[in-house]
């Protein structure tokens, strides 16, 4: 899930958990807009007994200060949804982008990979210039731009760091944990057939936490609002 928040001269604030229209107050000096992109869902592989799924990448974070008189009287807000759950074998779905008109975008995370008996890497974390890429087999998804350490790549056996300041990368099923984040969404944990292949999601200070991966036919856990990525699975559903 994702949300949007704005504050006017530190006197008032409004939080949007769904898309809508922001109406400018009568008075103010500056406006702070904070936005979180949607976390991606984890991957799933149900075609083999030892299927693996990487965790979804966390949604990116973006903020901007505006002079009060430079902003229109009403602005359309679009809240990027978390990536839809994967119910059959496939890569996780990308998280949606959150926008404040055409002036600010927080991009979504990339979906977790799926694999047979080999490592399934995580999706890349979103950022404020582009979305995270989907994982592919044992290759972690690319980070959104700007890249690490602003946005994290999907975790994989190559030792790439999934932690990030904004959107963090999703975890893999092979002992490589999901990325943590400060502002953006954290990555979802990887999952597989055996219990020790299910990994916890990452954590975020100001954004959403990543959902945990699952083992066997259990479903992965959805990430929290604020761009948390969903957990990957072997045979269940990879959640957003």
Q: Lowest-confidence range among 21-25, 36-40, 65-69, 116-120? A: 116-120
217, 237 contact by CB (below 8 A): no
Task: Report in angstroms the alpha-carbon separations of 72 from 56, 68, 78, 236, 238.
Answer: 35, 9, 16, 46, 40
Q: Give residue 1's pLDDT.
A: 39
Neighbours of 205 (CB within 10 A): 10
Q: What are 65-101's pLDDT values in tens digits?
A: 999 999 999 999 999 999 998 888 889 999 999 999 9
Q: Give residue 9's pLDDT.
A: 44
Helix then strand count (H, E) for the chain reads: 0, 10
Q: Give residue 182's pLDDT.
A: 85
155, 42 contact by CB (below 8 A): no
Quote the percentage of the chain above a pLDDT of 90: 30
Average pLDDT rounded to a whole number, residues 35-44: 92
**Residue 195 above 60 pLDDT?**
no
Q: Is the dihedral of CA 9, 101, 123, 190 positive or negative?
A: positive
How far is C-alpha 112 from the geometric centre of its chain's CA atoms?
10
Q: Give residue 219's pLDDT.
A: 83
Q: Give residue 122's pLDDT.
A: 86
């Amino acid at each position: 899930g994702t949300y949007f928040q704005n504050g006017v001269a530190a006197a008032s604030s409004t939080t949007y958990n769904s898309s809508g229209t922001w109406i400018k107050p009568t008075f103010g000096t500056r406006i702070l807009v904070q936005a979180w992109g949607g976390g991606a869902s984890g991957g799933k592989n149900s075609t083999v007994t030892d299927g693996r799924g990487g965790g979804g990448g966390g949604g990116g974070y973006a903020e901007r200060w505006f002079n009060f008189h430079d902003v229109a009287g009403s602005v359309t807000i679009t809240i990027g949804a978390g990536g839809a759950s994967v119910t059959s074998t496939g890569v996780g779905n990308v998280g949606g982008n959150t926008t404040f008109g055409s002036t600010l975008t927080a991009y979504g995370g990339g979906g977790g990979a799926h694999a047979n008996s080999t490592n399934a890497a995580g999706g890349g974390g979103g950022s404020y210039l582009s979305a995270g890429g989907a994982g592919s087999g044992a290759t972690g998804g690319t980070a959104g731009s700007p890249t690490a350490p602003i946005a994290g790549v999907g975790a994989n056996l190559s030792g790439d760091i999934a932690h990030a300041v904004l959107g963090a990368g999703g975890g893999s099923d092979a002992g490589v944990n999901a990325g943590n984040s400060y502002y953006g969404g954290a990555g979802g944990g990887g999952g597989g057939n055996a219990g020790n292949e299910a990994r916890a999601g990452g954590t975020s200070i100001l954004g959403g936490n990543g959902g945990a991966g699952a083992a066997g036919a259990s479903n992965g856990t959805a990430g929290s609002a604020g761009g948390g990525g969903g957990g990957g699975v072997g045979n269940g559903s990879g959640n957003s």
